[in-house]
Structure 1
Amino acid sequence: MKNDSQIFGIRAVIEAINANQTIDKVFVQKGLQGALSKELMDLLNDQHITYAFVPVEKLNRLTRKNHQGVVALTSPIIFADLENLVMNVIESGETPLFLILDQLSDVRNFGAIIRTAECTGVHGIIIQKKGGAPVSADTVKTSAGAIFKMPICKVDHIKDAVFYMQGSGIQVVAATEKTEQTIYQADLTLPTAIIMGSEGKGVTSSLLKMVDQKAKLPMFGSIGSLNVSVACGAFLYETIRQRL
């Protein structure tokens, strides 16, 4: 059955997938057995739908309904194709500006970033299929509706998006404290994709080795980091300042 942004029950989730409904993530109870559950898992893998094995307590917190060990979160948006989006922006003659979110996990931070991105003219946001914050009702609410105006792309691996950006003539800039260069020294007038890292770990070290530039915000207080959505806003408005 369906309840707003949730679908619960094995058969209901299978039917939703077969009906081409946009599924953001599926939570499956650990140890779930049976022919129907195997059919579901085969379908999730075939369709490359993100899923996670969780204890039954997690499912019970998501819904009080008879979930039969499966709860799916539906997406309120249709995700954009990365290659088509980048090509369209380049052909428009505008200077590309993209955000890449590396394992961002908090839905409210995600929503706040989407809102700021829409206000600052970002052309699209790229997220990874697995490990990131889902597009949930909280994301929609925090974005103040901006999510319906902002193209969002899902990729299997963030590295693939970085390679594609670089191959398309778009520099990739990582927001990280692991550099001596400040944001004010980076040239953001060029076609740019900015990587923002997760709340706890920042941009992963493997991505830092791939980027064209690394930049940080100067910090003068005793606390060593900013909330990721605040930091993202600072990066985007410095980009606007330079481009104006």
Structure 2
Amino acid sequence: MIYGINTLYEAIKSKIKIYKIYLNKKNNKNNKIKKIIKYSKKNNISLNEIINLNFKKIEKKNHQGVFAIIDHIQLLKIENIIPMIYNSGKIPLLIILDSITDVRNFGSIVRTSACTGVDAIIIATKNSVTINSDSIKTSSGGIFKIPICKEKNIIKIIRYLKSFGIQVIAVTEKTDNICYKFNYKNPTAFILGSEQKGISKKYLSLCNNTVKLPLIKNSLTSLNVSVACGAILYETIRQRLIES
């Protein structure tokens, strides 16, 4: 199940299979809602227009008078994606998430990643966020635009990425290396850890470098992980687009 106007609109643009759509009749003047209605009729999708959109699972959520039943989100394997990235002529840009379970942080990371051209997000099969309606909504539909790879052995994946010439960089406050002093124009994968435990030592030992975002003296000791992700991705885009 997904909910929210933008989320459903992005789902439609991604061409994921949609089984049923439920709309509040009061919203039918919204331009995106009009396009949703037109799409559903053209593709013979079950469309239910009702006056009061009451559904226990989403009644307390910001559903904006719309929800839908869609096909499952396909989780991919990074081994199938890396060759495709290189064959397309693109410089790989990847995100690895270590033990991030908060759906809001995950959704924000996905949304920013989709906006900055990240090629894939890698999560572990254990101690990772669940891909559900909340994480999809928080990503504003970004999850439909970027491959999500769920991997059992992150150590193996790090070694695999490095074998393809991808530098693996840990973004952590436990380093003296300021992030702006490093080159991200080359193939790069950033690892970000949970706010409680940070990045696992076994992953840190395999990284090419560790970097941190600078903080003002006597301020808080760390940033929210989704904010840190956004900052490092936009520094990467700045280097690749402006300095290239």
Fold equivalence (TM over 0.5) = yes
How many corresponding residue pairs?
A: 174
Alpha carbons 1:105, 1:131 under 8 Å: kept: yes
Determine the structure 2 residue equivalent to 1:232.
229
Determine the structure 2 residue equivalent to 1:97.
93
Determine the structure 2 residue equivalent to 1:193.
189
Q: Can you list the C-alpha shifts for 1:117-174, whole angstroms capped at 9, x where unaligned?
A: 0000000000000111111111000000010111000100211211110011100000
Task: Give 3-state SS (helix, strand or coil) of 1:223's partner.
Answer: coil
Alpha carbons 1:75, 1:136 under 8 Å: kept: no
Distance in 2 between the 1:195 and 1:75 partners?
29
Distance in 2 between the 1:76 and 1:112 partners?
20
Say whether residues 1:243 and 2:240 are aligned partners: yes
Say whether residues 1:141 and 2:140 are aligned partners: no
Structure 2 gaps of 5+ residues are 3-56, 58-69
Deviation of the 1:75 alpha carbon: 8.2
Say whether residues 1:208 and 2:204 are aligned partners: yes
Alignment of 1:1-244 (within 5 A): 4=1, 76-220=72-216, 221-244=218-241
Distance in 2 between the 1:79 and 1:101 partners?
15
Deviation of the 1:191 alpha carbon: 0.3
Letter in 1 for 2:98: D
Distance in 1 between the 2:97 and 2:187 partners?
17
Distance in 2 between the 1:223 and 1:143 partners?
26
Deviation of the 1:103 alpha carbon: 0.8
TM norm structure 1: 0.69
- Superposed CA RMSD: 1.6
Alpha carbons 1:126, 1:153 under 8 Å: kept: yes
Task: Give 3-state SS (helix, strand or coil) of 1:131's partner.
Answer: coil
Letter in 2 for 1:228: V
> After the TM superposition, which segments of 4 or more aligned residues of structure 1 sit over 2 Å from their partners?
none
Task: Give 3-state SS (helix, strand or coil) of 1:236's partner.
Answer: helix
Q: Can you list the C-alpha shifts for 1:99-132, whole angstroms capped at 9, x where unaligned?
A: 0001111011000000000000000000000111
Alpha carbons 1:186, 1:213 under 8 Å: kept: no
Letter in 2 for 1:241: R
Task: Give 3-state SS (helix, strand or coil) of 2:198's partner.
Answer: coil
Alpha carbons 1:105, 1:199 under 8 Å: kept: no
TM norm structure 2: 0.69
Task: Give 3-state SS (helix, strand or coil) of 2:76's partner.
Answer: coil
Task: Give 3-state SS (helix, strand or coil) of 1:184's partner.
Answer: helix
Distance in 1 between the 2:127 and 2:192 partners?
14
Task: Give 3-state SS (helix, strand or coil) of 1:202's partner.
Answer: coil
Letter in 1 for 2:232: F
Q: Can you list the C-alpha shifts for 1:25-62, whole angstroms capped at 9, x where unaligned?
A: xxxxxxxxxxxxxxxxxxxxxxxxxxxxxxxxxxxxx9
Alpha carbons 1:82, 1:153 under 8 Å: kept: yes
Task: Give 3-state SS (helix, strand or coil) of 1:86's partner.
Answer: helix
Q: Can you list the C-alpha shifts for 1:49-104, whole angstroms capped at 9, x where unaligned?
A: xxxxxxxxxxxxx9xxxxxxxxxxx9831011211101100111111000000111
Alpha carbons 1:76, 1:135 under 8 Å: kept: no
Letter in 1 for 2:182: A
